[in-house]
Amino acid sequence: MSGIPRPLERPTRTRRFTRPAMATLGLAIPFALVFTFAFAGAPSAVATTADHEETLERFNKYIRDKNDDARATVVRSVDKVDSAAGVEAVESVLDDESWKVRAAALEVLSGYKSAEAVAAMHALATSGKPESRAIVIQALGRIGAPSSAETLLPLGADRAWQVRRAAAEAYGGYVKSNKEADAPAFVGALMAMLEDKEPVVRTIVAASLGRIGDPIATSALVGLLTDESWQVRASAVQALAKLRQKDSIAPLIELMQEEGRLQDDAARALKSITTMDYGVDPDGWKEWWARTKDRFEVPELPKPGRSSRRPATAKSNEAPQREREEARYKASMRYYGIPTPSQRILFVLDVSRSMRDEVDIVKPERLVDLEMTSGRKIDIAKAELKRAIESFEGRTAINILLYHTDVERWNKKLVELSDSKRRQAISFIEKQEPRGKVGPVKTRPGRRAAASTNDEGRTNIYGALAAAFKVSGIGTYDKHYDTAVDTIFLLSDGRPTTGELTNTQEILAEIQRLNSLRRVVIHTINFGKDPVGAGLLQGLANQNGGTFVDLVGSRESGLLK
């Protein structure tokens, strides 16, 4: 998972249950079960047939547990049974109702390397339920075994959209993981899928073509810039940014005429291709391209730590371009200094009890109200959100989610901001206070009292993001993934402390899965000094096309190094 900062918690092969989790599970998971899988799953120097048989016996005994976490742990316990028997065991849970169990199945299958296991997966990839086949196909793409090419290539024309989508993803993964892969064959298969009737498939096809990086796909990806689905267009833009071909520059400039978030996507792609930066100013890009296109050559990307050099032709237009950018920047909606042309925005605001704390803002330039550089976190957050909403122009639609232990929302869906709705949104924000009571707690004699509280008011970051995706559209296991939201702003002041997921690597992986088809940009704002919380926010922004804003100096203090 490149681009994710450290320090972050390391992913665990076996889920460890905390005391609160055990209390929640009650008698559903006997302690002996947790103990067995927490320790018996550790790899030995040499795994014997007897070891595998014992593991599979335990798998069959406990896989029917009613708790999702327990079943996922049971599935992960067979990760060393790299054989047809291991594949057979995992096959039994491929259609499990829990995404956690299905994710564990994909993780385990992707780790199998033996010819025997891969052959067994080939058989599963070509028969059975489409949803189950899709998991196996994804795993084969990640493994990249040369023997899989013959099985994978025909699947792009399968009758089931789930299979075609998985095949499109597998093609990109296969070529990247297998240096000896027949790349032209897989690129050809992807090109044949560009007119697939399902937007979900076209979205993944574009992403895989960008991942493979063959310039031959440029013209086909340019054709997707006029696709009826904005997610397909967004995926094509991101792919063109990776291919960095001259022929894509003019079409990307033309795309900037479209209102909304794709303006920003196109601007980022143009900057990646040209190393120029005219922001979201279509006129600036047009003028530059008119002067430059006949002699322009795509420059090499600057090496890390070095800035690129602008061509001399840009100097004559620098002052007018800067003036236009400043005017556009002042007129656009800004939230913590992040300008966005989006007209479909979801604000996700932390109202956990720690938002009562006082804070000093080390980056006041990120705030609209420059006088409010210290005070309660919640007061600064409310002031900035109110100012952002007041700055909206045109037909912008928003919604507001508040999260602590639970998640609350202002409205059931996006609301277009008429004057009256704008006043309602601001009134709603003004009323908010951090959740959870704070006070002394009784302790045993001789022990220091802690500031504490009830369960209300903890930090449920995963729950907030999961709710955000429910507001924005339907789940990624459904082809009807149209989303009303294209941009999310997430504010937090600490690490996740409650909810379905609290491990940062697990949250990053699951949000990446949820967002793989939606293509929603996630911007994040950090109000806290906690290195794990700050690292999670930076990771979420990095992997979802957003900007990370650190208001309190976490990076400057070295916490994210």
Q: Look at residue 19 and tell me whether its pLDDT is greater than 70.
A: no
Q: Look at residue 480 and tell me whether its pLDDT is greater than 80.
A: no
Phi, psi torsion values for 491, nearest 5 degrees: -115, 135
Residue 498 C-alpha from the chain's centroid: 20
Summarize pLDDT for 198-212 with one digit per residue, the tens: 999 999 999 999 999
Mean model confidence pLDDT for the chain: 81
Alpha-carbon torsion (139, 144, 146, 149), positive or negative: positive
**pLDDT-wise least confident of 250-259, 359-368, 483-492:** 359-368
CB atoms < 10 A from the CB of 2, how many? 5
pLDDT of residue 339: 77
- Using pLDDT thresholds of 50, 70 and 90, give the confidence band for residue 218: very high
Q: Look at residue 213 and tell me whether its pLDDT is greater than 70.
A: yes
The Cα–Cα gap between 258 and 225 comes to: 11
Q: Look at residue 65 and tell me whether its pLDDT is greater than 50.
A: yes
The Cα–Cα gap between 407 and 411 comes to: 12
Q: Is 48 helix (H, G, I), strand (E, B) or coil?
A: coil
Summarize pLDDT for 296-320 with one digit per residue, the tens: 999 987 665 554 444 433 444 455 5
Domain chopping of the chain, boundaries: 333-434+454-550
Most confident of 93-107, 389-403, 427-441, 544-558: 93-107
Phi, psi torsion values for 465, nearest 5 degrees: -70, -40
The Cα–Cα gap between 416 and 351 comes to: 24
Give the pLDDT mean for 530-545.
Answer: 92
Any idea which residue has 């067979």 for tokens?
78
pLDDT of residue 505: 92
pLDDT of residue 47: 54
- Using pLDDT thresholds of 50, 70 and 90, give the confidence band for residue 223: very high
Q: Look at residue 181 and tell me whether its pLDDT is greater than 60.
A: yes
The residue type of 252 is L
Summarize pLDDT for 321-380 with one digit per residue, the tens: 555 555 444 445 678 888 788 888 999 999 999 999 988 887 776 776 556 778 899 999
Q: Look at residue 531 and tell me whether its pLDDT is greater than 80.
A: yes
349 sits in which H/E element: strand 344-350
Which CATH class name applies to 333-434+454-550? alpha beta
Query: Residue 376 pairs with which residues in a beta bridge?
Result: 358
Give the pLDDT mean for 104-118.
Answer: 96
Give 248's DSSP letter.
G
pLDDT of residue 271: 93
CB atoms < 10 A from the CB of 389, how many? 22
pLDDT of residue 370: 54
pLDDT of residue 38: 46
Assess contact for 350 and 527: CB atoms under 8 A: yes
192 sits in which H/E element: helix 183-192
The Cα–Cα gap between 152 and 167 comes to: 7
Q: Look at residue 112 and tell me whether its pLDDT is greater than 60.
A: yes
Which of 548, 547, 483 is closest to 514 using CA atoms? 483
